[in-house]
Each structure stands twice: as structure tokens, then as C-alpha cells.
């Protein structure tokens, strides 16, 4: 098949919606038992891997085998690395302060509040963001120039995200850096190399899906992810926190360092 079969794709979209809901319900059960609702951050990356794996199975004989394998591999590498990183970072730390603040005043109905206000909305976002993965695996043609560019953008994103996380983890592990602002390595060129890399990953997957006109419709995925990373849960939230805790040192860092896209530091 050279095109995208709409009926099988529609069934796939329904199946992955059910799978994402199941991920969130299972995560809620585990989180309630442990008393740590922040484990949903680990489930975030794993949920995309599940969507990709399920779509890979359901799209067998429907989409091009090379494209399907490529999209599954790229998604799995990104999702598993992110889940492992967040698990190591949060292990033994108890509840994340962000979730603790949201839960204030909801002790009696914490599970219901978390499900309706945090987990299910996050599940809906996961499903929407995963649309390029699902559409790409139903494209019947082989990989073309847009897919090759998409892979290059994905690689750039993974380098920035993984290297940025690694550099920051090493910086925080050194007691001599306590109270300091991370401005080394990739962090010299952008205040959020990991978030910039995350956005690139999804723009890359979108480009792989763009080799059919239906893939163009999934542009909502990288746009939504970039918006969240820049304006909602990523850059904006972290910078408010850093401004409170690091004061003038962070203000100086902001003055000389690009907020998102990597650029040479400004002279001050």
C-alpha cells in the first residue's frame, strides 16, 4: 500500500487512547500505594514507548516496514532514556514539590484530584503528542528526504537532551557547586538544552510522518510539545523557581544566555 488506510489508522488511534488511559490508571494505583504521585513523570516516557509498540504491532502489513522500525526505535530510545533519567534523579527523594503544592487542601480526595486534574490531562496530551508516531507507521512508502531530515533533527535533539541532562546531573553531584548556576557545556549556549532537545525530537518525528499529507495534520504534536516546554511546565516554571532561589546570579545568567535556541553567549 502506498497511502494511509484510514479505517485501520482510526482503529489504531482508538486502541492507543485506551492504552494511554490504562497507563495513567495503573500509574495512579502504584503512586497511591507508594504515596508519591510524581512517578507519573517516569510513566510519561514509557507511555510513548507503549503507544509506539502497540502501533508497530497493529500496523503490520499496513505501513512500510523500514519506517515502522525506524519510528519504533527512535521513540523507544527517547522514551526509555527519559524514564531512566527521571527515575534515577527522583529515586529516594519523596514527593516532588510541584505535586505537593498542587495537592494542598486535597488530602481527603487526593487520588481523585490527581486523576482528574493531573493524570488524565497528561494522558490526553500524551496521546495528541504521539500522533506523528501513529500516522508515520501507516505510511506505505519507503523513507524519503523529509524522513532523513527528520532523523537528523531527532539526533540533534537527543544529543542536546541527553548531554544536557548528564552535564546538569554531574554539576549537581559536586558539593562545590551548591547554590551556583549551571553555565557550562551546552548550558553556556541555552538555558535549557534538555528542553530544546526534547522539542527537536518531536519535530524530527513529525518530519518522518510528513511524507504523507496526513502527517502534515500532526503538526499539532510538535507545536503543543514546544509550547509546553517553553511556556508551561518546562522553561517558564523552572525559571520562576531559579529566580527565587538563585537571585542575581541567575539574573546575570539570563542576561548573557539564550532562553531556548542555542546561541553564543552575549558579552556583558
pLDDT tens-digit readout, 206-239:
999 999 999 999 999 999 999 999 998 888 888 8
Shared domain for 98 and 177, answered yes or no, is no
Q: Which of these three, 112, 141, 170, is where a domain ends?
A: 141
Q: Which of the 8 DSSP states describes residue 261?
A: S
Q: Which of these three, 126, 141, 156, is where a domain ends?
A: 141
Owner of C-alpha cell 538544552: 193
Q: Which of these three, 89, 106, 141, is where a domain ends?
A: 141
Contact indicator for 186, 263 with CB cutoff of 8 Å? no
Shared domain for 7 and 73, answered yes or no, is yes
Q: Which domain holds residue 91?
A: 1-141
**pLDDT for the residue numbered 2:** 65
Shared domain for 136 and 220, answered yes or no, is no
Shared domain for 120 and 213, answered yes or no, is no
Neighbours of 66 (CB within 10 A): 11
Tens of pLDDT along 8-50?
A: 999 999 999 999 999 999 999 999 998 888 899 999 999 999 9
Kindly report the average pLDDT of the chain as a whole number. Answer: 93
Shared domain for 6 and 129, answered yes or no, is yes
Going 86 to 91 to 97 to 99, the CA torsion angle's sign is positive
Number of domains in the chain: 2
Q: What's the rounded Cα separation, in Å, for the pair 85 and 87? A: 5
Cα separations (Å) of 230 from 166, 189, 199? Answer: 21, 16, 9
Shared domain for 120 and 205, answered yes or no, is no
Q: Is residue 153 packed enough to be buried (19+ CB in 10 Å), middle (13-18) or exposed (0-12)?
A: buried
Say what the pTM is: 0.92
Q: What's the rounded Cα separation, in Å, for the pair 34 and 53? A: 28
Shared domain for 5 and 117, answered yes or no, is yes
Shared domain for 126 and 197, answered yes or no, is no
% of the chain beyond a pLDDT of 70? 99
As a residue count, the chain comes to 268
Amino acid at each position: 500500500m502506498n497511502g494511509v488506510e484510514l479505517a485501520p489508522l482510526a482503529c489504531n488511534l482508538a486502541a492507543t487512547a485506551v492504552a494511554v488511559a490504562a497507563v495513567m490508571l495503573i500509574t495512579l494505583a502504584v503512586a497511591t500505594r507508594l504515596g508519591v504521585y510524581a512517578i507519573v513523570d517516569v510513566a510519561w516516557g514509557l507511555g510513548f514507548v507503549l503507544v509506539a509498540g502497540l502501533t508497530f504491532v497493529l500496523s503490520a502489513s499496513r505501513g512500510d516496514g523500514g519506517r515502522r522500525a525506524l519510528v519504533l526505535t527512535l521513540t523507544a530510545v527517547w522514551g526509555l532514556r527519559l524514564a531512566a533519567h527521571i527515575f534515577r534523579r527522583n529515586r529516594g527523594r519523596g514527593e516532588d514539590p510541584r505535586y505537593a503544592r498542587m495537592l494542598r487542601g486535597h488530602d481527603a480526595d487526593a487520588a481523585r484530584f490527581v486523576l482528574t486534574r493531573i493524570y488524565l490531562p497528561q494522558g490526553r496530551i500524551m496521546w495528541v503528542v504521539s500522533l506523528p508516531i501513529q500516522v508515520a507507521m501507516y505510511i506505505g512508502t519507503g523513507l524519503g528526504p523529509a524522513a532523513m531530515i527528520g532523523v537528523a533533527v531527532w539526533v540533534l535533539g537527543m544529543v542536546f537532551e541527553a548531554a544536557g541532562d548528564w552535564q546538569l546531573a554531574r554539576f549537581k553531584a559536586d558539593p562545590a557547586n551548591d547554590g551556583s548556576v549551571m553555565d557550562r557545556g551546552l548550558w553556556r549556549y541555552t538555558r535549557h538544552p534538555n528542553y530544546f532537545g526534547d522539542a527537536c525530537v518531536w519535530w524530527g518525528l513529525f518530519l518522518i510522518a510528513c511524507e504523507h499529507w496526513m502527517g502534515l495534520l500532526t503538526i499539532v504534536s510538535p507545536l503543543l510539545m514546544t509550547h509546553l516546554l517553553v511556556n508551561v511546565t518546562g522553561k517558564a516554571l523552572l525559571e520562576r523557581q531559579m529566580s527565587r532561589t538563585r537571585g542575581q546570579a541567575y539574573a546575570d545568567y539570563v542576561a548573557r544566555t539564550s532562553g531556548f535556541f542555542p546561541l553564543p553567549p552575549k558579552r556583558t
